[in-house]
Amino acid sequence: MLDAEARMLLDLMEKAAQDGRPKLHTLPYAVGRQAVDKMSEDSEADPPQVDEAIDGDFAGPGGKIRFRRYRPQEAAAGPLPTLIYYHGGGFVIGTLETHDSTCRRLANKSRCQVISIDYRLSPEHPFPAPTDDGAAAFRHIRDNAASFGADAKRLAVGGDSAGGAIAAVVCQVLRDSGEQGPAFQMLIYPATDSSKQSASRVAFAEGYFLTKDLMDWFWKAYVPAGTDLTDLRLSPLLAKDVKGLPPAFVLTAGYDPLRDEGRAYADRLIDAGIKTTYVNYPGTIHGFFSLTRFLSQGLKANDEAAAVMAAHFGM
């Protein structure tokens, strides 16, 4: 059964549409991005105080990659375990601001540092630009860990939705290249199989925030026509072998089109003997991890994800 809070939020969204607010998938990308990014900022709970939040940038494959580094309150002295976080938004929307409160909470609750990455977005920068930036960000922070106050041996990657997909891809890319990769992955309702329609994509195609129309709007911007949808950077679930990937926390939502492929990815990790914590929040919707002003389950999920990562790193 859908949680009362989720039902109320969906009803408010539907009323806004009935009152004339255009749906995102009907808007030009630039117009839609501006409107939804502001809504996303306003939909997070009030941002908690952290010890410090520092903005910066470094060179990436397509220009400067901006970041925001959060050091938690009462942080231990010296280099910290660090979560490199990629925001959600269908590879089209989202900024450092839209996930600011979420990253602050993850930092404080885990006692780990969080570095949020402002990767390139589509349609201006289609596939594979976002995943390329994701891998480049990990490599840069790994290779310059001291300047980031990070422990190079205790680097994690994570993200929600599109960001969760980037995190999963980064783990596979680094493993396959034989480089030092992440020590932990936090995958929040990740998109893991773009080659077919799962049962949950069909069942929740309408009426639960992330609709089929909206996913198609994102997809048209992100993936050039003719792209091989079995490319592992689009469908990491299709990897022949997931052995050698890092321990994971995988979270899904019960009324989310991406639920089944997130669960399938967790199952593959578990079957391969990789230490994996899988949790499904049955009564809520896609996006709840950051819609924390309206959905208290999101705050609970933030804390659970942070606790699992903290335990992994002994914090």
- d(C-alpha 236, C-alpha 65), whole Å: 24
Q: List Cβ neighbours of 105 (8 Å cut-off, separation of 6 or more).
A: 45, 48, 292, 299, 302, 303, 306
Residue 233 burial by Cβ neighbours in a 10 Å radius (0-12, 13-18, 19+): buried
Which entry of 87, 99, 286, 312 is annotated as an active-site residue? 286
Which entry of 256, 260, 290, 312 is annotated as an active-site residue? 256
Residue 245 burial by Cβ neighbours in a 10 Å radius (0-12, 13-18, 19+): buried
- d(C-alpha 190, C-alpha 122), whole Å: 18
Which entry of 101, 116, 122, 161 is annotated as an active-site residue? 161
Would you call 51 a catalytic residue per the annotation? no
H or E segment to which residue 116 belongs: strand 113-118
- Taking alpha carbons only, the member of 21, 77, 15, 12 closest to residue 293 is 12
Would you call 99 a catalytic residue per the annotation? no
Give whole-number Cα distances, 120 to 55, 136, 189, in Å: 17, 12, 21
Under 8 Å between Cβ of 153 and 183: yes
Would you call 194 a catalytic residue per the annotation? no
Tokens 């390329």 locate to: 132
- d(C-alpha 145, C-alpha 313), whole Å: 16
Strands 184-188 and 248-255, bridge-based pairing: parallel
Q: Which of the residues are catalytic?
A: 161, 256, 286
